[in-house]
Amino acid sequence: MSVQHDPVQRADFDQFMVPNYAPAAFVPVRGQGSRVWDQTGRELIDFAGGIAVNVLGHCHPALVGALTEQANTLWHISNVFTNEPALRLAHKLVDATFADRVFFCNSGAEANEAAFKLARRVAHDKFGPQKCEIIAATNSFHGRTLFTVSVGGQPKYSDGFGPKIEGITHVPYNDLDALKAAISDKTCAVVLEPIQGEGGVLPAEQAYLEGARKLCDEHNALLVFDEVQTGMGRSGELFAYMHYGVTPDILSSAKSLGGGFPIGAMLTTNELAKHLAVGTHGTTYGGNPLACAVGEAVIDVVNTKAVLDGVKAKHRQFTSRLQAIGEQYGIFSEVRGLGLLLGCVLSEVWKGKAKAVLDAAAAEGVLVLQASPDVVRFAPSLVVEDADITEGLDRFERAVAKLVQG
């Protein structure tokens, strides 16, 4: 039974919504696989994936099935009780990773908030209140709550909201000497994205993550990996830490974890988890049965050899074509990233113009993202069809050609 809605248009955004976003001029209304359609019926190929979220594209049958079944069973029960989907998903995450324990929440920022609070709590309990300093990377992004913007290394997101959370130091990413100089026995955690996502799709160097692990161990500090953007298969491994072979103490996940349904998770060890005893932290919706049922379907599909090998193969398809486009039109100086998180670094003359590339791409019928004004980002579905890759990149090339021709 379809419900009749009042007609709405893009202009309603400007009238009724807080102006903290600047959405595109068109309104998507429907998605299937890697294609979406707007209000006028125009079809677009989606390489943006809802900002690295729609890990299995739009309306994947396994996810629709899990959500529909759960919607007819139990929506919400709160953490006064536990529920079967949450327990099943937690068990699967534990089986698939370094972690022994899972805390569920609703977003990446909340997963990081829990991670940072846990790191401080552990240090407080074991070493005392002076061990509360967090080291994070310049240009990093960890979410928009006050704690997460304070840890994030982009002052444009944290300035202007009054006093920030104290005790946070930022060091240049991929600079082990800077981390070495900053870390001390007052450090409770080093927080890193294995690939800086919003900061420009910049992968960590192998020696950097290995060195960070060693420095943390030497200073009794915890290594926190923010895998909100890199996790759940995006790198070609279930989590990017597996690609590097460097294991964190705490890991945050969100975005792809729910494939489009809001969910976040913080993963950690038994030893650390015990510091979040009853009453120390919580959330009403975290571990919601609907979200966890979808998350379970996501991990069942994504954590398979077929999908993860597919990501690596599709990575090669994307990068070789994007490199060719970059060279032919002189628009990219580098194509970087792992798996299906790719960043095309704009060449000197195109620096700062990522938004113009996005707009030109959308006009040709393909959705891409930016990651800073200097990088065009691709975060498609991990199961994007080969035909969609070819057609989408043809459209993208036409957009670049038009842009370059002025």
Residues at the interface with ligand PLP (CB under 6 A):
107-109, 112, 141-143, 193, 197-198, 226, 228-229, 254
175 Cβ partners below 8 Å, 6+ apart?
A: 208
In whole angstroms, how close is the CB of 235 to ligand PLP at the nearest point?
Answer: 13
In whole angstroms, how close is the CB of 53 to ligand PLP at the nearest point?
Answer: 8
DSSP 2: P
Total Cβ atoms within 10 A of residue 163: 7
- Which one, 52 or 63, has the nearer CB to ligand PLP? 52
Instruction: Report which of 355, 343, 326 is spatially closest to residue 197, judged by C-alpha positions.
Output: 343
- Which one, 236 or 262, has the nearer CB to ligand PLP? 262
Helix (H) or strand (E) holding 85: helix 84-96
How would you label 167-182 residue by residue, b for 16+ Cβ within 10 Å and e otherwise?
bbbbbebbebebbeeb
Phi and psi, residue 331, nearest 5°: -100, -30
In whole angstroms, how close is the CB of 42 to ligand PLP at the nearest point?
Answer: 27
**Rounded Cα gap, residues 177 and 193, in angstroms:** 18
Read out DSSP for 190-253? EEE-SEETTTTSEEPPHHHHHHHHHHHHHTT-EEEEE-TTTTTTTTSSSSHHHHHT---SEEEE
What the block records as the tokens of 49 is 């994936």
In whole angstroms, how close is the CB of 386 to ligand PLP at the nearest point?
Answer: 27
Total Cβ atoms within 10 A of residue 312: 14
Helix (H) or strand (E) holding 329: helix 305-329
In whole angstroms, how close is the CB of 162 to ligand PLP at the nearest point?
Answer: 20
The amino acid at 366: V
In whole angstroms, how close is the CB of 108 to ligand PLP at the nearest point?
Answer: 2
In whole angstroms, how close is the CB of 381 to ligand PLP at the nearest point?
Answer: 17
**Rounded Cα gap, residues 346 and 335, in angstroms:** 9
**Rounded Cα gap, residues 390 and 376, in angstroms:** 18
- Which one, 287 or 365, has the nearer CB to ligand PLP? 287
In whole angstroms, how close is the CB of 112 to ligand PLP at the nearest point?
Answer: 6
- Which one, 263 or 344, has the nearer CB to ligand PLP? 263
Residues 356/31/16/152 CA torsion (nearest 10 deg): -60
- Which one, 11 or 18, has the nearer CB to ligand PLP? 18
Is the separation of the CB atoms in 366 and 400 below 8 Å?
A: no
- Which one, 142 or 321, has the nearer CB to ligand PLP? 142
Nearest-CB residue to ligand PLP?
108
- Which one, 151 or 403, has the nearer CB to ligand PLP? 151
- Which one, 52 or 331, has the nearer CB to ligand PLP? 52
**Rounded Cα gap, residues 384 and 30, in angstroms:** 17
- Which one, 236 or 260, has the nearer CB to ligand PLP? 260
In whole angstroms, how close is the CB of 144 to ligand PLP at the nearest point?
Answer: 6
